[in-house]
């Protein structure tokens, strides 16, 4: 039987509506959640991401500030801007669009953001909070993937979840969240020997490698939930995931398409984290 296609766009709209209610409740108390997005340099893809983030805030009636800094901005100037935003009461969430230019130390930048305003969830304190089961701000992409699983009623507790990829922004936090939901978790990397042995045993398979269509239907357990985080540009300009959708959908129980699966959830969870930051700051 063909898989249920997980409609990320529709679920993202539902989740945004839920968080809009929470934002409206804050606004009724005179508090408008505010997000500051800092971009350093002219990377075209980053500019698109930042524009979409600012737009999503506007849709929910959030305050947003878009700070554009030139590619030759000194690290000290960026840190000074972050310090200013850390003490700005109109701003509840701060995000520095990655990657930053090479002369800037990204770890130093992420650590400069107040953990209370760290809506990307990359500050070591928030990473630690997630690792110790006290999640405050989870990184937006894996957080969105978890919400997709929950909204689709995919059983997690006691299931074997396999995460392919161990990046700090997707794979590792995804694995921690699945563990927090009582899945038995395996993490695979480029060094894993016989990847298919693990993926074929997965009740939940999350793939975040950046390798176009590397997971094929024969690597998937019948009925599994397949979450494809990858976004790859093919030579013909079309987008595809890390999973070969056509063969995988014949085997899986649930599957996210690319585009239209995990992607729409990422910005939604950023907005959610901003509203949560405002709630935490004002309770
Ligand atoms: P990274 O390049 O940081 O990490 C990729 C991970 O995949 C690494 O851990 C790497 O292993 C692993 N890997 C690579 N090749 C293989 C392989 N053949 N077998 C097993 N594991 C492998 O990528 P990100 O986590 O940042 O992103 C992953 C994908 O998700 C990309 O396509 C990206 O565009 C997409 N993405 C989508 C987002 C969205 O909003 N939907 C947001 C963020 C990312 P090792 O550690 O051993 O090198």
Most informative mutation of 50, 189, 212, 256 for ligand 1 (most atoms within 8 A of CB): 189
Q: Is residue 178 part of a domain?
A: yes
pLDDT at 107: 97
Asked whether 137 and 274 are in contact (CB, 8 A), the reply is no
Same domain, 106 and 170: no
Assess whether the C-beta atom of 52 lies below 6 angstroms from ligand 1.
Answer: no
**Ligand 1: nearest atom to the Cα of 211:** 15
The reported pLDDT for the residue numbered 244 is: 98
The yes-or-no answer on residue 53 being catalytic is: yes
Mean pLDDT of the 269-277 span: 98
Is 14 a domain residue?
A: no
Residues 144, 247, single domain; the answer is yes
The residue whose CA has the least distance to atom 18 of ligand 1 is 190
Regarding whether 257 and 185 lie in a shared domain, the answer is: yes
Residues paired with residue 94 on neighbouring β-strands, in sequence order: 36, 118
The CATH number for 100's domain is 3.40.50.10860
Q: Is 120 a catalytic residue?
A: yes
Residues 171 and 78 in one domain: no
Q: How distant, in Å, are the alpha carbons of 109, 165, 193, 243 from that of 208?
A: 24, 5, 17, 9
Q: What is the mean pLDDT of residues 15-32?
A: 97
CATH number, position 146:
3.40.50.720
Q: Do 167 and 60 fall into the same domain?
A: no
The pLDDT confidence band at residue 45, using thresholds 50, 70 and 90, is: confident
Q: Which of 7, 53, 116, 228 is catalytic?
A: 53
Tell how far CA 269 is from the center of its chain.
7
Give the residue whose CA is nearest to atom 35 of ligand 1: 230
The answer to whether residue 225 is domain-embedded is yes
Is residue 277 in some structural domain? Answer: no
**238 found inside a domain:** yes
Mean pLDDT of 19-30: 97
Residue 153 and residue 83 in one domain: no
The reply to whether 77 and 145 lie within a common domain is no
Of 82, 115, 148, which residue constitutes the final position of a domain? Answer: 115
Q: Indicate whether 273 belongs to any domain.
A: no
Counting residues of the chain whose pLDDT is more than 90, the rounded percentage is 96
Q: How confident is the model at residue 283 (pLDDT cuts 50, 70, 90)?
A: confident
- Whether the pLDDT of residue 145 is over 80: the answer is yes
Place of tokens 């959030």: 62
Domain total in the chain? 2
Q: Which atom of ligand 1 is nearest to the CA of 171?
A: 25
- Ligand 1 atom nearest 265 alpha carbon: 40
Q: Are 194 and 106 found together in one domain?
A: no
Same domain, 255 and 149: yes
Structure tokens at 223: 């009925």
**Same domain membership, residue 143 and residue 196:** yes
**Assigned domain for 129 exists:** no
Looking at 69, 100, 115, the residue that finishes a domain is: 115
Mean pLDDT confidence for 25-37: 97
| 157 and 91 housed in the same domain | no
pTM for the full model? Answer: 0.97
Q: Which domain holds residue 159?
A: 139-263
- Domain for residue 274, yes or no? no
User: Alpha helices, DSSP H only, in the chain?
Assistant: 8-28, 44-59, 75-86, 106-112, 124-131, 140-151, 171-180, 195-199, 245-248, 263-282
Q: What is the rounded distance in angstroms from the CA atom of residue 252 to the CA atom of residue 254?
A: 6
CA of 166 to the centre of ligand 1 (A): 7
Is-catalytic flag, 180? no
Q: Which residue CA neighbors atom 31 of ligand 1 most closely? A: 210
């Amino acid at each position: 039987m063909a898989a249920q296609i997980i409609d990320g766009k529709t679920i993202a709209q539902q989740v945004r509506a839920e968080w809009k209610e929470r934002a409206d409740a804050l606004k009724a108390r005179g508090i408008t959640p505010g997000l500051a997005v800092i971009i350093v340099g002219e990377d075209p893809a980053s500019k698109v991401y930042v524009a979409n983030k600012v737009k999503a805030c506007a849709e929910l009636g959030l305050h947003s500030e878009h700070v554009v800094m030139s590619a030759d901005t000194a690290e000290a100037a960026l840190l000074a801007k972050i310090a200013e935003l850390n003490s700005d009461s109109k701003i509840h969430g701060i995000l520095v669009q990655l990657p930053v230019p090479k002369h800037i130390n990204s770890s130093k930048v992420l650590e400069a953001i107040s953990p209370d305003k760290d809506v990307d969830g990359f500050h070591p304190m928030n990473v630690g909070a997630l690792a110790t089961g006290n999640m405050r701000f989870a990184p937006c992409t894996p957080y969105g993937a978890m919400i997709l699983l929950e909204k689709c009623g995919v059983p997690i507790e006691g299931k074997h979840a396999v995460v392919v990829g161990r990046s700090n922004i997707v794979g590792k936090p995804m694995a921690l969240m699945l563990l927090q939901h009582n899945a038995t978790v395996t993490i695979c990397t480029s060094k894993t020997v016989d990847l298919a042995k693990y993926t074929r045993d997965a009740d939940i398979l999350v793939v975040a490698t950046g390798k176009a269509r590397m997971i094929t239907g024969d690597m998937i357990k019948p009925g599994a939930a397949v979450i494809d985080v990858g976004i790859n540009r093919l030579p013909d300009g079309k987008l595809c995931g890390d999973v070969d959708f056509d063969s995988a959908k014949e085997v899986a129980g649930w599957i996210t398409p690319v585009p239209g699966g995990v992607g729409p959830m990422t910005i939604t969870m950023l907005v959610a984290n901003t509203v949560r930051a405002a709630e935490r700051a004002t309770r």
